[in-house]
Structure 1
Amino acid sequence: MQLPDYKNLSIEPYRNKEKIIRQVAAQIEKDFAQFGLEVQFSGDINNAYQELYLQLKEHLRDLLDRDYHRLVLLLYQIDLSEKQIMTTELKYPDMPKEKLLADLVILRELKKVLIRNYFKENPDKL
């Protein structure tokens, strides 16, 4: 069971823009690398979500099983709150935690990229 598509969110129009996808992949690579976890994006825009999701899911499963403290630090770095995780877990109680976290991480990284781009383009809004 996957989380629902992001169609109802205002970020939907940006999900398929190549520049945004590359920035999200780079942000994920950077955040995971800070914790010694390698994530590589091949550059295949059409399969970006699945490619990143599968890698994140494996790393998150390993952290859940072996290094919960490092997982907590990683989620803090990504700025994924415990409240967001718990709310999503309540909505999808049968979803394995690593799958749920992989979806939430990708969504959060996308939001970070969109916010950063917005303020780059609108410096007067700071």
Structure 2
Amino acid sequence: MSLPDFTNLSIEPYRGREEIIRQVVAQIEKDFAQFGLEVQFSGNFDYAYDELFLQLKEHLVWLLDRDYHRLILLLYQIDLSEKQLMNAEAQYPDVPKSDLLAELVILRELKKVLIRNYFKENSD
């Protein structure tokens, strides 16, 4: 059994899949809550990405400006490396760091959910 390649993962195919969105939201809420950061989802699946992105960006701006150590711990919890962030910054130098981080967090949390689901479905 080989794991699907999630390296070039895009959010688009999952925007309409409410169960996947619900799982990603729960994962984000859990990871951010461990660091005292509240993320709330209204339940409107049509705007889930935008809603999450804006909330994450707000938290990430605050962490970048005021608590970089906690940011690094959060990224470690999410399983995002500083190297991944540096690569994203090199690839998109004109995009604010907080925007890149929010996007990377959502993609990583989506990847976690997809991998978890894959192994649940292929547990034999």
Question: Same fold by TM-score, threshold 0.5 exceeded?
Answer: yes
Describe how 1:42-121 pairs up with structure 2 within 5 A. Answer: 42-121=42-121
Contact 1:11–1:111 under 8 Å retained in 2: no
- Cα shift at 1:9: 3.5
Distance in 1 of aligned mates of 2:43 and 2:72:
29
- 1:24 corresponds in structure 2 to 24
Distance in 1 of aligned mates of 2:9 and 2:26:
22
How many residues are matched?
117
Distance in 2 of aligned mates of 1:123 and 1:62:
40
Q: Tell me, which stretches of 5 or more residues in structure 1 are unaligned?
A: 1-7
- Cα shift at 1:83: 1.7
Runs of 4+ in 1 over 4 A off after TM superposition: none
- Cα shift at 1:11: 6.3
Q: Tell me, which stretches of 5 or more residues in structure 2 are unaligned?
A: 1-7
Which amino acid in 1 is paired with 2:24? V
Distance in 1 of aligned mates of 2:112 and 2:121:
14
Distance in 2 of aligned mates of 1:82 and 1:101:
10
- Cα shift at 1:82: 1.6
Q: Deviations over 1:77-103 (max 9, x none)?
A: 000112211111001111111111000
Higher mean alpha-carbon deviation, 76-85 vs 108-117, is at 76-85
TM-score for the superposition, normalised by structure 2: 0.89
- For the structure 1 residues 15 and 115, does the alpha-carbon distance in structure 2 shift closer, same or farther, using more than 3 Å as the test? farther
Structural RMSD (CA) = 1.4
- Cα shift at 1:10: 6.5
- 1:4 corresponds in structure 2 to none
Which amino acid in 2 is paired with 1:32? F
TM-score for the superposition, normalised by structure 1: 0.88
